[in-house]
Amino acid sequence: MEPGFRSWVEVSRRRVAANYAAVRSAVGDQVEVACVVKADAYGHGAVEVSRTLAEAGARWFAVSTAEEGVELRRAGIEGRILVMADYARLSREALEEYGLTLVVHSLEDLRELDAFAANRDIRLPYHLKVDSGMGRLGTLASAAVIADTIQSAANLEFEGLMSHFASASDYASAQTALQSRAFEALCRELCARGFLPRFRHIASTNPVAYGRRDAWHNMVRPGLALYGYISPARGDAPSRILEVEPALAWKATVISAKDVPAGARIGYGGMYTATRPMRIAVVGAGYADGLSHRLSNRGQVVAAGKLVPILGAVSMDVTTIDVTECPSIVPGSSVTLLGAEGAVTIDAQQMARIAGTISYDILCGIRARVQRVHIA
């Protein structure tokens, strides 16, 4: 596909839908799936991805901010939208207007949200987040205090109780088991006090992929799996029960190609020196597009079905590659930064290992000026 852009990503709707179906099949009909589409669906385009997921049967969507939820509503997304990491005072106006469901992280926020609902004479659903051991968002209050606060919030509906794992892919650590037990204990204590929310959820992609069924409760929140990735497990992990495929390919156009002699210095700082006569190509993507500067002199791209190295520094707007063995590459040709050409593949996890980061960072780092093209 040659859409005529300087740099673009192609997102496969078919693969997004298939990945959702794989998650849906893995957890079964008794577990709800809240599709995490925050951060512009991890760089895949939140509106189009959410439409695809809705067509595939998704009923819940999870975002980070109220603004992200409003964007989906304005685009016609009708499912439930869970706002997971916003500041309650900034998001509560949108809850009523756009039918969003807030995750509340503290009992003080819960009381203020109740007062807001009372002043508007409305009733709002919410999910309460508890800190089960990650040390980030969520209340650390006891079950007794939580129950008293829920009881007093007469204008709110306690619909969900949630938490978040810190080390779900690390089977050499006891942290996930400890968090899971803490969350289950709190669920039992609240139930004993008469508060059993409709949804209980703590698991994201990895607890689903590696079959931590005791952590699924009756809702899971897959994010990365929807886009075709599962973080590698550490330690003595069980076999995966979930297989998915990357939905995104990132491509760029060759702006220039030329022959350089041995000894030619390439890019800022002369970071690379040609060891032989070479043919180089300059492609229209750099760190301002999200191609990590850490890939300088280390990364690779796929050109004419071959892995070729990045030469010298990744610049703000362009990157130089070695196309000596790719005579078909000329100005106007495309190369693949992420994705496959035939049997040759570069995926976000491979790129992340070279750049010293994680696949989430690679995907979410693809900037807005890179065109999104959604294909069948």
- Confidence band for 1, pLDDT divided at 50, 70 and 90: very low
**What is the distance between the alpha carbons of residues 357 and 344, in angstroms, rounded to a whole number?**
22
b/e for 308-333, b at 16 or more Cβ within 10 A?
A: bebbbbbbebbbbbbbbebeebeeeb
pLDDT per position as a tens digit, 250-279: 999 999 999 999 999 999 999 999 999 999
At 168, list the tokens: 């779900």
Looking at residue 90, its pLDDT comes to: 84
Q: Which amino acid, residue 371?
A: Q
**What is the distance between the alpha carbons of residues 325 and 304, in angstroms, rounded to a whole number?**
9
The stretches of 193-238 forming alpha helices (DSSP H) are 205-209
The topology (CATH level 3) of 248-375 is Lyase, Ornithine Decarboxylase; Chain A, domain 1 (2.40.37)
From the candidates 38, 126, 129, 227, give the one annotated as an active-site residue: 38
- Is the distance from CB of 296 to CB of 305 less than 8 angstroms? no
Q: Which amino acid, residue 114?
A: D
Q: Strand pairing partners for 63?
A: 83
pLDDT per position as a tens digit, 128-153: 999 999 999 999 999 999 999 999 99
From the candidates 98, 126, 171, 268, give the one annotated as an active-site residue: 268
The topology (CATH level 3) of 31-227 is TIM Barrel (3.20.20)
pLDDT per position as a tens digit, 71-122: 999 999 999 999 999 988 888 999 999 999 999 999 999 999 999 999 999 9
DSSP of 250-282, one letter per residue? EEEEEEEEEEE-TT-EESGGG-EE-SS-EEEEE
- Confidence band for 310, pLDDT divided at 50, 70 and 90: very high
Q: Is 115 helix (H, G, I), strand (E, B) or coil?
A: helix
The model's pTM is 0.95
Question: What is the distance between the terminal CA atoms of the chain, rounded to a whole angstrom?
Answer: 12
* 129 noted as active-site residue: no
Closest CA to 300 of 346, 361, 364: 346
Q: Where are the domains of the chain?
A: 31-227, 248-375
* 268 noted as active-site residue: yes
pLDDT per position as a tens digit, 224-246: 999 999 999 999 999 999 999 99
**What is the distance between the alpha carbons of residues 123 and 57, in angstroms, rounded to a whole number?**
27
**What is the distance between the alpha carbons of residues 201 and 128, in angstroms, rounded to a whole number?**
10
Q: Strand pairing partners for 301?
A: 308
